[in-house]
Amino acid sequence: MTKLSVNINKVATLRNARGGDVPNVVKVALDCESFGADGITVHPRPDERHIRRQDVYDLRPLLRTEFNIEGYPSPEFVDLVLKVKPHQVTLVPDAPSQLTSNAGWDTKANQEFLEEVLEAFNQAGIRTSVFVAADPEMVEYAAKAGADRVELYTEPYASGYIQNREAAVAPFVVAAQTARQLGIGLNAGHDLSLVNLNYFHQNIPWLDEVSIGHALISDALYLGLERTIQEYKNALRS
């Protein structure tokens, strides 16, 4: 069964827009778990415009499911992750000013850097995942660098889904098959939604995990959080 990790960054964005502690990020994370989420994802950025470092510390002892921290492996980020020791760390190549992740790593060009960072996390017993495009070579070099998993950057799939879903998913199937042949795990995320998730899963049923935030939180405005999480879980059952 593919796991659903709920990215709660948007909840923190809403809180920060007004100040104070409404909505409460920790309570929402715990509610997500009680409603069926298999994990919680956060992406603390240097400017703390959504998830704050303190949120990460507050969440860690209370979560009962898998905790995934994603971000660019700056010294500050590495220090945070090693102190908190989540179940998984996902490395993304984001610059500090980026609005959201918009590309995967060039794992070939950055292999030496990634090897060093991944080794530190692996030695700490933290499962590692590297954010990559649907490119078999990028998957291969992520594995060579020591990643336990790759997370496929699915925005191109989401963008192409309406026009031609078969063509949109095809390169992701090839990349996913490469990961399976190499013996590493497979995650996916970015712009997956109730519109396109089920078809993606049908074509790549061996996915370990999907991480979904923006679309899921947006759907919850209309459907409610509990029903929304169940709808996403249902999309991963067929």
3-state secondary structure 166-224: HHHHHHHHHHHHHHHHHCCEEEEECCCCCCCHHHHHHHCCCCCEEEECHHHHHHHHHHC
Instruction: Supply the angle between the helices 136-145 and 165-182 in degrees, to the nearest 10.
Output: 30
Annotation says 50 is catalytic: no
Q: What is the largest CA-CA distance in the chain?
A: 48
Q: Residue 187 is part of which domain span?
A: 3-235
Q: Encode pLDDT of 127-185 as tens digits.
A: 999 999 999 999 999 999 999 999 999 999 999 999 999 999 999 999 999 999 999 99
CATH number at residue 21: 3.20.20.70
Report the DSSP beta bridge partners of residue 132.
152
- Separation between Cα atoms, residue 61 and residue 86, nearest integer Å: 10
pTM equals 0.95
- Selecting among 151, 190, 201, 209, the annotated active-site residue is 190
Q: Which of 33, 50, 66, 70 is catalytic?
A: 70
- Predicted local distance difference test score (pLDDT) of residue 94: 74
How much is the pLDDT for 110? 96
- Establish whether 190 is a catalytic residue: yes
Question: Can you give the pLDDT at residue 9?
Answer: 97
Give the pLDDT of residue 223: 98
What pLDDT is attached to residue 99? 52
Rg (CA), the chain: 17
CA dist 192 and 159 (Å) reads: 10
214 given a catalytic annotation: no
Number of domains in the chain: 1
- What pLDDT does 97 receive? 57
The per-residue pLDDT for 101 is 60
pLDDT reported for residue 96: 61
Residue type, 165: R
Please name the helix (run of DSSP H) or strand (run of DSSP E) that holds residue 54, with its range, or none.
Answer: helix 53-59
Instruction: Output the CA torsion sign for 2, 180, 115, 121.
Output: positive
User: What is the reported pLDDT for 103?
Assistant: 79
Is there a contact between 213 and 6 (Cβ–Cβ < 8 Å)? yes
Residue 102's pLDDT is: 63
The ranges of the chain with pLDDT < 50 are none
Q: How much is the pLDDT for 98?
A: 54
Catalytic annotation, pick one of 33, 43, 66, 209: 43
